[in-house]
Amino acid sequence: MLEVRGLSVEYATDGAPVVAVDGVDLDVAAGEFVGVVGESGCGKSTLLFAIARLLSPPAAITAGSIVFKGHNLVTMTEKQLNALRWRDCSVVMQSAMNALNPITTIGAQFRDVAHAHMDWSPDEVAERSAEVLRLVGIDPIHLKSYPHQLSGGMRQRAMIAMALLFTPDLVIMDEPTSALDVVAQRSLMVQIKQLQRQLGFAVVFVTHDMSLVSHFSDQLLVMYAGLIVEVGPTRTVFDSPAHPYSRGLLEAFPSIRGVRRPLTGIPGSPPDLARPPSGCRFHPRCPVAMPECATTEPPLYSVGRAQARCLLHAPERAPLSEVRS
Amino acid sequence: MTLLETVGLTKHFKIGGNVSRRTLHAVDDVNLSIDRQEIVALVGESGSGKSTIARLLARVYQPTSGEIRYQDRPLSSMRTRRQSLAYRGDVPMVFQDPFSSLNPAYRVAHGIMRGLKLHRRDLNRAQRREEALRVISAVGLAPGVLDRYPHELSGGQRQRVGFAQALAYRPKLIIADEPVSMLDVSIRIGLLNLMTALREQEGVSILYITHDIASARYVSDRLLVMYAGHIVESGPVEDVLARPKHPYTQLLLSAVPDPRAPLSTDSADQGEPPRVIDPKPGCRFRWRCPLAIDVCERVTPELRLLAPGHSAACHVATPEPSLSEP
Amino acid sequence: MTALLVDTSGAPPVETVARRRGGFLGAVRRSRKAQVGLAMLFVFCVFAVVPQLFTSVRHPNDLAFAPRLPPSGAHWLGTTALGQDIWAQLVYGTRESLVIALVAGAFATLLSVVVGVSAAYLRGVGDEVLSMIINIFLVIPTFPLIIILATYAGKGTLPVVLIVLIVTGWSYGANQLRAQTLSLRNRDFLEAAKIRGERRSYVIFAEVLPTMTSLILATFLGAALYSVLTAAGLQFIGLGDPNSISWGTMLYWAQNQQALQTGTPLWSIAPGLCVALLGASFALINYAFDEISNPALRPVRGRRRRRARG
């Protein structure tokens, strides 16, 4: 349903442009939950905004295609995009407090959204608003409330309800749970999954917390320095991560169960995208880097049911010495 | 040997305008203690009062009632500037936000040198510079960092500078208020390992305040769980996690995402800790508690010893059979 | 074990905004407007410091020449109705106008900083009192106040003009600085300084002020601009010293002698234009500071973006 090919996004700067997203491919089937995981600066939010066609200067899409239900979003005009926006594809932002207008009621904001995209009568709008609020577990009486009167978790749910007003086929979510505490987070994730099963929409979910999506996503993409470094079924990526970065990320989560043992994390910090390392962008921090990693940019190689951008998996190499997760 | 303890520590804030005066109970009747060379984790969600406790211990706020005792002397008795400075030198704080905890107008060395000037008067200028270099390398940074500006450093580096500033005082106890929450996941482990190393190598205790119970387990020796201004459970960290006695602790543990464990049965809990305004007596968790009974409505539970070193404030929790009732 | 601790990273992540890269000079180099403004200011400064280099007339106010002469080789802008060389007056007048701008601007800014920052930092009663004072001065209609003060002070000598300008020009900046300090109040590094045990006065002067240098400089430029224009206005309506050599006095006399109607328009236009240009130079330099503190205002240098092919 969503097919992204070779998408590149650049930020214009005083000097050379910074490539925030570099030739990314992404496939989302109908009803699929796709998790995009990475740390700050990896380009995942930029990717999301590019797909939603919400980028503004100095950022711009410089290459690639985004084919959504047969139409290439990159070449569409604003007018054509507006026909699709919210009805077929909607967006849930990271912080509801930033995305909701603090001086109007929730109901008024739902009305604004409805009027912007559809010609419904006031009654239809009110009915649908109440319906979506109920779907996310909020009493429709809160249509009259202001955002600050709701708790953090409820505000996020209201955002999700707004995104579902027209039962879109695709909902893009940019770290919707990061401002919430762990119990509210769990509850919201469960709710999202439930709604997804109920209404059948696909989700592209961006987060920096890999463990959050582990139980909910079907497909997992790991991004680093603007590239996809690993992609595959979630369980596969978790059980046997093929890329040293994914492995490092998984190792960086202390567990509350099992034996307590020292972890190492990943030394160093993500690269400056204005001057990315030569060859494999992860090689300066990679525990198993080889000499050729500094000179060769690896493509995505197939590794079982997943793909990884790592020279360790180049088919011409001898069988790997260690693949342990 | 107890380094710092609080007795009935309470902090209330007045909210609302002049017409409707209501009281926000941020911290109520908290008794905690921290020994030498131990890392104690204080875990709670936002609004639980953990940040208020940090600021009470750092003397940013004055307690509404109750006492804080440092090395057996109450803080209220430290009135002169000299005594106050001595305490501040022993109990510094590390902040959550790496992007606002360093003054952007000065180089990194500035904060460390100011701290040394105030708290280590015995050193002359050259010795201060040396000490600054020592603490910078003790936190794993290159000496050149001292001459950089904060905006040239990454978030992880800035947090390390925060620890270096605290170390420069030769502290006994560092209050770390969510020091890793705003850092990337792969950087967090480095800071957490640093905290354990500081305990070993520098002999400091750390009060590690966080909402992330997994990282609390990773670094700490003892765990305190806070809910709505109360400490609801406390004990050795492995004990509390293996046999949580308080229903809130159990809820927290079930909600932590763990890719290696199967998804636990979903609870209907939507997860909103309350703002405690003008509360009535009774357990503050009762509305969300699946085990609440009659007495929970009327009587505020106190911390009871239920296993060796392990207490919980719950009417329903039962003591371990090994522990004989007093 | 220490190997685990060593943080080997060098480069900060992309989203770190490098503020004040290269400081003031860097900002000026990047901003065309600031360069123009600085150039203009420089020219005026030269005129003020060494006026004798630009004209042979040593006493511009002397009635030494034939009145109402048109522009010529001897008198580049002609002469006034009283027989003075306009160009000479203009050049020598630069000094007073510049002095007024810089001195009044500086003292007004000093007052703004002291009152504004203290109000925000003291909070409570101190803030209430100081804010009230700021607001009173802000709200009083300035021109009538100026007129009253100037008349009350008697002769409009230079010190009087300066005092009047400072008294009326400080409150706007004070409000801005107070607002900025309030927003800074919750920054962790200030709390850290307090927890470190620093005294309040130290925190205000050594921790808060250095982070506001660009705002303070912008306040100064605004105050200087205000002073130039208002001083000219005061002198124009006759509240200055009619015997001084300055642009505003030229305007006064020009109006007095009806220069525009009697064929010596340059007598009015030239000083007016200079006032405007000096003011504009401050405003243009101010743009550079806006652009430093708010990168969103920087002009996006056009790199033509290729339209992506599907």
Q: Is the pLDDT of residue C22 over 70?
A: no
Integer CA distances (angstroms), B234 to B243, B310, B317, in order = 12, 6, 13
- pLDDT beyond 80 at C155: no
Q: In this predicted structure, which of A186-200, A280-294, C62-76 has the lowest mean pLDDT?
A: C62-76
Q: How far apart are CA A104 and CA A109, in angstroms?
A: 7
Position C2 pLDDT exceeds 80: no
From chain C, the residues in CB contact with B61 under 8 A are none
**Pairing assessment for the beta strands B73-74 and B65-70 based on DSSP bridges:** antiparallel
- In tens, the pLDDT along B103-150 reads 888 889 999 999 999 888 888 889 999 999 999 998 888 888 999 888
Report residue C148's pLDDT band, with 50, 70 and 90 as the boundaries.
confident
- Does the pLDDT at position A228 exceed 60? yes
Using the beta-carbon criterion (under 8 Å), do A272 and C7 form an inter-chain contact? no
CA atoms within 13 A on the CB side of A9: 29
Helix, strand or coil for residue B314? coil
Average pLDDT over residues B168-185: 90
Map out the domains of chain B with their CATH numbers: 2-80+224-258+273-324 (3.40.50.300)
Give the torsion sign (CA, C265, C271, C272, C273): positive
Is A269 an 8 Å CB contact of chain C?
A: yes
Measured in degrees and rounded to the nearest 5, phi and psi for residue A204 equal -110, 115
Q: Which pLDDT tens digit goes with each residue over B279-292?
A: 888 888 888 888 88
**Cα C14 from chain centre:** 36
How many B×C Cβ pairs under 8 Å? Answer: 90
Angle at B180 between CA B176 and CA B186, to 5 degrees: 150
- The minimum CA-CA distance between B189 and chain C, rounded to whole Å, is 9
Using a pLDDT cut of 70, give the percent of chain A over it. 97
**What span, in angstroms and rounded, lies between the C-alpha atoms of A165 and A114?**
8
String of b and e for C41-59 (b: at least 16 CB within 10 Å)?
beebeebbeebeebbebee
Rounded Cα distance, A212 and B322, in Å: 38
Q: Round to the nearest angstrom and report the end-to-end CA distance of chain C.
A: 52
Dihedral angle at the C-alpha atoms of B72, B78, B84, B88, nearest 10 degrees? 20
Q: Which positions 188-217 of B are in contact with A (Cβ < 8 Å)? A: 188-190, 192-193, 211-215, 217
Note whether A238 contacts B: Cβ–Cβ < 8 A: yes
**Rounded to an integer, what distance in angstroms lies between the CA atom of residue A195 and that of residue A185?**
15
* pLDDT more than 70, % of chain C: 83
Tell me if B211 and A211 make a contact (CB, 8 A cut-off).
no
**Structure tokens belonging to residue A182:** 């762990």
CA distance B112 to B131: 9
Q: Does A192 touch chain C (CB under 8 A)?
A: no
Mean model confidence pLDDT for chain B: 87
Which CA distances in Å does C20 have to C27, C32, C214, C291, C292? 7, 17, 10, 10, 6
Q: What is the mean pLDDT of residues C276-290?
A: 85
* CA-based nearest residue in chain A for residue B47: A181
A33-37 and A219-224 strand pairing: parallel
**Are the Cβ atoms of A186 and B255 closer than 8 angstroms?**
yes
Query: pLDDT class for C24, splitting at 50, 70, 90?
Result: low
Report whether A170 contacts A89 (CB < 8 A): yes
Contact between residue B70 and residue B33 where contact means Cβ atoms under 8 Å apart: no
* CB-based contact C4 B105, cutoff 8 Å: no
Tens digits of per-residue pLDDT, B177-199?
A: 999 988 888 788 889 999 999 99
State the pLDDT at residue B197: 92
Give the range among A240-249, B16-25, C3-12, C212-221 with minimum mean pLDDT.
C3-12
Question: CA-CA distance, A266 to A245, in Å (whole number)?
Answer: 8
**Between residues C165 and C302, the one the model is more confident about:** C165
pLDDT band at residue C20 using 50, 70 and 90 as cut-offs: very low
Enumerate the β-bridge partners of residue B10: B65
Burial B239-274 (b: 16+ CB within 10 A, else e): bbbeebbbbbbbbbbbbbbbbebeeeeebebbbbbb
Is A140:A130 a contact under the CB 8 Å cutoff? yes
Give which of B83, B103, B139 to mutate to test C binding, by max C Cβ within 10 Å. B103
* Mean of pLDDT values over A239-267: 86
Any idea how long chain B is? 326
Contact C181, C134 (CB under 8 A): no
For C4, phi and psi rounded to 5 degrees?
Answer: -70, -25
Chain A 27-66, CB below 8 Å of chain B: which residues? 39-40
pTM: 0.81
Average pLDDT, chain A: 86
Q: Looking at residue C8, what is its pLDDT? A: 42
**What local confidence, expressed as pLDDT, does residue A234 receive?**
92
Residues of B in contact with C1 (CB under 8 A): 197
The structure tokens listed for A35 are 């998790």
Is the confidence at residue B294, as pLDDT, over 60?
Answer: yes
How far is residue A132's CA from residue C138's CA, in Å, rounded to a whole number? 50
Backbone φ, ψ for residue B55 (5° rounding): -75, -25
Kindly give, in sequence order, each residue whose CB lies less than 8 Å from that of residue A77, ignoring residues fewer than 6 positions away. none
pLDDT over threshold 90, residue C310: no
Q: 10 Å Cβ neighbour count for A144?
A: 11
Chain C contact residues (CB < 8 Å to B): 1-2, 4-7, 9, 11-13, 16-19, 187-189, 191-198, 207, 210-211, 213
Pairs across A and C, CB distance < 8 A:
56
- How confident is residue B267, by pLDDT bands cut at 50, 70 and 90? low
Q: What is the average pLDDT across C51-70?
A: 82
Share of chain B above pLDDT 70, in %: 93
How far apart CA C228 and CA C103 sit, in angstroms, is 11
In the sheet with A170-174, reading across from the earlier edge strand, the strands are A89-92, A170-174, A202-207, A33-37, A219-224, A227-233, A306-308, A301-303
Model confidence at C7, in pLDDT bands (50, 70, 90)? very low
Give the lowest-confidence range in A80-94, B82-96, C12-26.
C12-26
The residue among A317, A243, A316, A323 whose CA lies nearest residue A281 is A243
* Interchain CB distance below 8 Å, A184 and B271: yes
Residue B222 has pLDDT above 70, yes or no: yes
Distance between CA atoms of residues B34 and C25, nearest Å? 52
At C28, is the pLDDT very low, low, confident or very high (cuts 50, 70, 90)? low
Asked if B111's CB is within 8 angstroms of C192's CB, the reply is yes
pLDDT bin (cut points 50, 70, 90) of residue C25 is: low
Whether residue B47 has pLDDT greater than 60: yes
C224-270 per-position pLDDT tens digit: 998 999 888 888 888 777 888 888 888 888 888 887 888 888 888 88
CA dihedral A201→A204→A210→A211, nearest 10 degrees, is: -10
| Candidate from C19, C196, C198 with C-beta closest to B104 | C19
The torsion angles phi and psi of A24, rounded to 5 degrees, stand at -95, 135
Query: Residue C105: what pLDDT?
Result: 93
What are the structure tokens assigned to B197, written together? 């190393």
Sheet holding A59-68, edge to edge: A18-28, A2-11, A59-68, A71-72
- Give just the sign of the alpha carbon dihedral B261, B265, B270, B276: negative
B256 contacts in A (CB within 8 Å)?
182, 256
Contacts of C18 in chain B (CB under 8 A): 151-152
Instruction: Tell if the CB–CB gap between A249 and B269 is shorter than 8 Å.
Output: no
For A247, the closest chain B residue by CA position comes to B186
Task: Answer yes or no: are the C-beta atoms of B95 and B177 closer than 8 Å.
Answer: yes
Kindly report the average pLDDT of chain C as a whole number.
79
Q: Which residues of C touch A61 (CB under 8 A)?
A: 308
Chain B environment of C195 (Cβ under 8 Å):
58-60, 88, 92-93
Can you read off the two tokens belonging to residue A239? 């059980």
The answer to whether A175 touches A159, Cβ cutoff 8 Å, is no
Q: Give the count of beta carbons closer than 10 Å to the beta carbon of residue B293.
A: 11
Say if CB B147 and CB B187 are below 8 A apart.
no
Indicate if the alpha-carbon torsion angle C205, C208, C212, C213 is positive or negative: positive
CA–CA–CA angle B253, B257, B261 (5° rounding): 85
Which stretches of chain B are assigned E, i.e. beta strand?
2-15, 22-30, 33-35, 39-43, 65-70, 73-74, 93-94, 173-177, 205-210, 222-227, 230-236, 304-307, 310-312
Q: How far apart are CA C245 and CA C117, in angstroms?
A: 37
Give the pLDDT band of residue B264 (cuts 50, 70, 90): low
Section A124-150 average pLDDT? 87
Query: How far from C209 is each of A97, B103, C20, C192, CA to CA, in Å?
Result: 31, 11, 16, 16
- Rounded CA-CA distance B290/C6 in Å is 46
Q: Tell me if A254 and B218 make a contact (CB, 8 A cut-off).
A: yes
Find the distance separating the first CA and the last CA of chain A, reported in whole Å: 32
More confident residue, A269 or A213: A213
Interface contact flag, A187 B270, Cβ < 8 Å: yes
Which amino acid type is present at position A122?
A: P
